[in-house]
C-alpha cells in the first residue's frame, strides 16, 4: 500500500499442539550493525512492493491495489528519527533499477547478514495472546512448522500508517 500499515495487531484464537511461532527482528538494530559505507549505499535504494504471492489472493484483489508502491529501502521512523531496513522479501517486486531476481538476491544477502539471534525474538503463542508489532521498525515472520491439519486461527488488524521516508 502507498501508506503501508504502521502496526500489525495479532490475536491468537486457536493454535496447533506445537509450532506456529512468530519471529520478530528489530530492523533498527539490523541497520545499526552495518558499516557506514553500506548504510549510505542502501539509503539510496528504493523498492517496488507487491501483494504477496499466495494462492488465495485472486486477480480482483491484486487489481484493487493498483499501481505498485515504491518505498525507501531504509526508512526513518517518524516518531524516533531512527533509521531501519524496511523490506519484506515476500512483498518485494524488485529494487528500482534492478531485475526481480537480482533484487531478491541482494535482499536475501542483506537479511542473511543482519538477522542475527541477538536482534530477533521468537514468540511462542498461547491462546489469548495479543501482540502489537511496529511495522516501521520490525520485520516479522510466521513459522509454518506445524501440522496444517490442526490449523491455526489468528486475528490480524492492520493500522494505517504514513508514507515511508
Instruction: Examine residue 38 and state whether it is found in any structural domain, yes or no.
Output: yes
- Domain span holding position 111: 5-160
- Given pLDDT bands bounded at 50, 70 and 90, which one contains residue 53? low
Instruction: Examine residue 165 and state whether it is found in any structural domain, yes or no.
Output: no
As for how many domains the chain has, the answer is: 1
Q: Which of 3, 13, 15, 2 lies closest to 152 in space, CA to CA?
A: 15
Virtual torsion, Cα 101, 58, 141, 102, nearest 10 deg: 10
Instruction: Examine residue 24 and state whether it is found in any structural domain, yes or no.
Output: yes
* Res. 62: pLDDT tops 90: no
- Given pLDDT bands bounded at 50, 70 and 90, which one contains residue 99? very high
pLDDT at position 151, please? 85
Angle at 65 between CA 84 and CA 70, to 5 degrees: 35
CATH code of 148's domain: 3.60.130.10
- Given pLDDT bands bounded at 50, 70 and 90, which one contains residue 65? low
* Res. 66: pLDDT tops 80: no
3-class SS letters over 12-27: EEECCCCCCCEEEEEH
Least confident of 10-14, 70-74, 141-145: 141-145
Task: Note whether 127 and 14 are within 8 A (CB).
Answer: yes
pLDDT at position 2, please? 76
Amino acid at each position: 500500500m502507498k501508506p503501508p500499515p504502521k502496526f500489525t495487531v495479532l490475536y491468537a484464537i486457536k493454535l496447533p499442539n506445537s509450532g506456529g511461532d512468530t519471529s520478530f527482528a528489530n530492523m533498527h538494530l539490523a541497520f545499526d550493525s552495518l558499516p557506514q559505507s553500506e548504510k549510505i549505499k542502501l539509503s539510496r535504494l528504493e523498492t517496488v512492493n507487491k501483494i504477496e504471492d499466495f494462492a488465495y489472493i485472486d486477480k480482483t484483489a491484486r487489481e484493487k491495489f493498483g499501481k505498485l508502491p515504491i518505498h525507501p529501502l531504509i526508512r526513518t521512523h517518524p516518531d524516533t528519527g531512527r533509521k531501519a531496513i524496511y523490506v519484506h522479501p515476500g512483498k518485494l517486486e524488485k529494487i528500482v533499477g534492478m531485475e526481480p531476481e537480482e533484487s531478491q538476491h541482494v535482499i536475501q544477502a542483506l537479511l542473511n547478514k543482519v538477522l542475527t539471534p541477538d536482534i530477533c525474538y521468537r514468540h511462542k503463542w498461547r491462546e489469548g495472546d495479543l501482540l502489537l508489532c511496529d511495522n516501521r521498525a520490525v520485520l516479522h515472520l510466521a513459522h509454518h512448522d506445524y501440522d496444517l491439519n490442526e490449523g491455526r486461527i489468528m486475528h490480524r488488524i492492520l493500522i494505517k500508517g504514513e508514507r515511508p521516508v
